[in-house]
């Protein structure tokens, strides 16, 4: 498979803290690449470097063969790269349809309003919100708002989707449904890079895994290889909140 995204020796410091240190990896077309690591490993910082929220101190971000390092987030979105956020903040007074329309208007195609509305409706239906198009976003449940966040970025028609803990805060039934949506997105031809703390879910979904710890790449490979890497296990055992879940995912 061809590399859609290339992360080349990316580094970012905040004062004396090296949040990301010389991280390199590739995301191949039509794959799901999981990005995992203990709390404070640098995962969210790396996402912010990729989509232009932060500028790296060193290194490059190459997307579809073009250097997008340090581009403004709206330009990154126009290039075909979109992301969700861990803490969802929909436009509460607007309907589900209108929230998704915003994504379509400012996405890869920069669609006019009439076309954007059509794409928005398709995205909402895809994630299971077709019957709530006219509902104010503020009235959605937590699971509904998570789906809306996903629909909004799908309406931007990206080539690469960055998912930041889309399963957080969901109950087991909602997690199963969201996993199915993510699988369907990948099967539609979209490439996914996702951060997730639910080990069982990300080990099941991902074709490959990249592990970060203290800002550095610790391991990379198929889920079975990464899950049984002694260095990775040791890193997770240092985080009591994640240790039990990680070990459970090995079963």
pLDDT tens-place string over residues 111-130: 778 888 999 999 999 989 99
Taking the C-alpha atoms of residue 59 and residue 192, their distance in angstroms, rounded to an integer, is 22
Short-list 106, 105, 111, 103, CA closest to 154: 103
How far from the centroid of its chain's Cα atoms is residue 16's Cα? Answer: 27
230 and 130: one domain? no
pLDDT tens column, 200-245:
889 889 999 999 999 999 999 999 888 888 888 877 656 555 555 5
Which H helix or E strand runs over 30? none
Which of 142, 158, 174 is where one domain is finished? Answer: 158
Q: What is the pTM of this model?
A: 0.88
Average pLDDT of the chain, as a whole number = 88
Q: Does some domain include residue 5?
A: no
**Cβ pair 220, 206 in contact under 8 A:** no
Taking the C-alpha atoms of residue 67 and residue 243, their distance in angstroms, rounded to an integer, is 37
pLDDT in the model for residue 154: 93
200 and 104: one domain? no
Per-position b or e across 104-114, b if 16+ CB within 10 A of its CB: bbbbbeebeee
169 and 181: one domain? yes
Taking the C-alpha atoms of residue 250 and residue 67, their distance in angstroms, rounded to an integer, is 38
Short-list 138, 195, 188, CA closest to 162: 195
Domain that holds residue 145: 89-158
């Amino acid at each position: 498979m061809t590399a859609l995204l290339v992360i080349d020796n990316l580094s970012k410091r905040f004062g004396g803290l090296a949040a990301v240190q010389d991280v390199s990896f590739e995301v191949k077309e039509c794959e799901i690449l999981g990005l995992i690591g203990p709390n404070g490993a640098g995962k969210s910082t790396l996402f912010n470097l990729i989509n232009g929220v932060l500028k790296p101190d060193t290194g490059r971000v190459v997307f579809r063969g073009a250097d997008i390092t340090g581009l403004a987030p709206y330009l990154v979105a126009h290039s075909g790269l979109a992301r969700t956020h861990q803490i969802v903040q929909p436009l509460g007074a607007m309907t589900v349809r209108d929230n998704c329309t915003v994504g379509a208007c400012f996405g890869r195609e920069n669609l006019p309003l009439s076309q954007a509305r059509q794409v928005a409706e398709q995205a909402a239906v895809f994630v299971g919100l077709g019957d709530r198009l006219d509902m104010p976003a503020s009235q959605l449940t937590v699971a509904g708002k998570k789906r809306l966040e996903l629909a909004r970025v799908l309406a931007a028609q990206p080539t690469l989707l960055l998912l930041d803990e889309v399963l957080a805060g969901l109950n087991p039934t909602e997690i199963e449904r969201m996993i199915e949506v993510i699988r369907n997105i990948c099967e539609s031809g979209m490439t996914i890079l996702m951060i997730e703390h639910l080990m069982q879910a990300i080990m099941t979904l991902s074709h490959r895994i990249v592990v970060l710890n203290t800002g550095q790449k610790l391991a990379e490979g198929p889920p079975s290889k990464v899950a049984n890497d002694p260095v990775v296990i040791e890193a997770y055992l240092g985080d009591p909140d994640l240790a039990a879940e990680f070990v459970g995912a090995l079963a």
